[in-house]
A and B are shown apart, each in its own frame.
Chain A
């Protein structure tokens, strides 16, 4: 199932801090925020996936946001942002959650051409918020499909 994409940049976003960047996640893909939980690492997982946490009775993959777009390891994550795309859920470990913001479309712009090849799958647009760089994520894209499949396999297991 293809993730939901929106061409309209207006609306609410959950703004998080990952390293020195601000991430804006569309509010419709956010289920909740919570404190980090116990993570069960799995074999053969990408480096940005820390493991599986059981959130509200269901295993949810935990993705390290800092290593998702950058290889740097900054401050430890203090929040988990549970994203949902259809029936799938994924927990994004961020350093902090600033809150829900309503971004004006004029403050956003598409990713420059030179950067599209590198981050087109995860970053939908860029902008500034309070003089800081803001990356608008594609919530359904920056999780690889094999991760989703692994999570689905775990869900299917009894």
Chain B
């Protein structure tokens, strides 16, 4: 037998052989039964009806006798008709028997019956003639007893002989059928025994072959069950760790979800504040532009002040120049007055009055000189103040210019702030939208993680079930091994392949 054939193929071949033997057995049995049935049918359908026909012959003869008696008693023609009808019936039955009898001896018996029946009908016709001729009843009865009874007895004897012959024929047919049945039984028993022997041999070889293969397969199943058990243990442990990790991830995602919601709310607040800031920046920009105009006015006023101060300085310089002249005049006057006093002192008594006048002139010149000094000091103060004021004003102008530039920068900064705040507002809105999307995504992830956690729990349960199934499979393989391997070989066969 080919070693590469499958288990089912080998079993199928074995069952096919058994079925083929069974079919052969069945065919032989059917053939034997059909032979028996044919023999029985031959007995029942051919031989038995002959006996029935013989009985009908007897009945027709009896009915003829009855109709004869009724006619003899009543003279009624109806009975005469019945009599003729029975004759016709007798003739037809006899003709049917002649068609069914194939043996020469049987045909001879039928000829004897026909002859006896001919004599009997002749006797009956004689009696009928006597009756129709109004022969006295005693004569008729006498004739009936003397002529018809013997023919009737002969006819009965001939029929009885034929019945005996047919009984013997039926017996022979029955014996032949019984012999055929016995032969068929013997044949069936022989075929069944042969089938049993062949099936036993096939079963032995199949059992041996399949036990070897199933043993090997069971060993592999045991090994696989052990590996499956170990894998299921690892899978169960991994599923537990995964379930724990999934719980931690779910907790973290819940926290992340809460944080994302807080970020979304914060982003919304930031967007709101950014919008308010943008409005404030635009308002501040307007205020800065107004302030810039005011600073422009201040700068123009400061320039006018500077110009006035410079004019004042120039006027002071002019006053100083005039004052130099006055001072020069006062100094000259002082010198002249002193010299006049000196000259007056040299003039004696006459110059004394002039000396007084000259001294007054000197005093006046001194006062003028003092006043000139004071005026010069004042002018210097004024010039210094003017210079200081001009410098301060120029500093102020520069500060105003710087302030104006700074205001321009501030306005630009406000514009930039407004743009940046708009960008910030847009970014905050995007952050808010993104965070909402993130929240939705995190919720979906949370749902997915929950599903994964559920799947992990189911995996854990499935792993436990797998472990249980592996254990059951190992036990089943051991049981299966015990079923196919003897106890002394169990230890050897249960080793993993």
Contact = CB atoms under 8 A, between A and B. Distances in A.
A56 interface: no
Highest count of chain B CB atoms <10 Å: which of A27, A79, A99? A99
Contacts of A100: 338, 341-342, 345, 355, 359
Interface in A28-71: 28, 30-35
A28 B339 contact: no
The B interface is mostly helix, strand or loop, or mixed, namely helix
A97 interface: yes
Contacts of B50: none
A150 B335 CA distance: 29
B194 interface: no
A35 B366 CA distance: 16
Contacts of A31: 342
Contacts, number: 36
Contact-size category for A? 10 to 19
B335 A30 contact: no
A32 B366 CA distance: 18
B346 interface: yes
B359 A99 contact: yes
Contacts of B339: 32-34
Interface in B319-348: 331, 334-335, 338-339, 341-342, 345-346
Given A99-B362, A100-B355, A100-B359, A14 B346 contact: no
Contact of A30 (B331, B342, B362): B342
A30 B343 CA distance: 9
A33 B362 contact: no
Given A100-B355, A100-B359, A28 B335 contact: no
A16 B441 CA distance: 109
A82 to B, nearest CB: 10
B269 to A, nearest CB: 80
A100 B345 CA distance: 9
B338 A99 contact: yes
Contacts of B362: 99
Interface of B: 331, 334-335, 338-339, 341-342, 345-346, 355, 359, 362-363, 366
In the A-B complex, the 6 residue pairs with the closest CB atoms? A100-B341, A27-B345, A32-B339, A12-B345, A33-B338, A30-B342
14 contacts: A12-B345, A14-B338, A27-B345, A27-B346, A32-B342, A33-B338, A33-B339, A34-B339, A35-B335, A79-B335, A97-B335, A97-B338, A100-B341, A100-B355
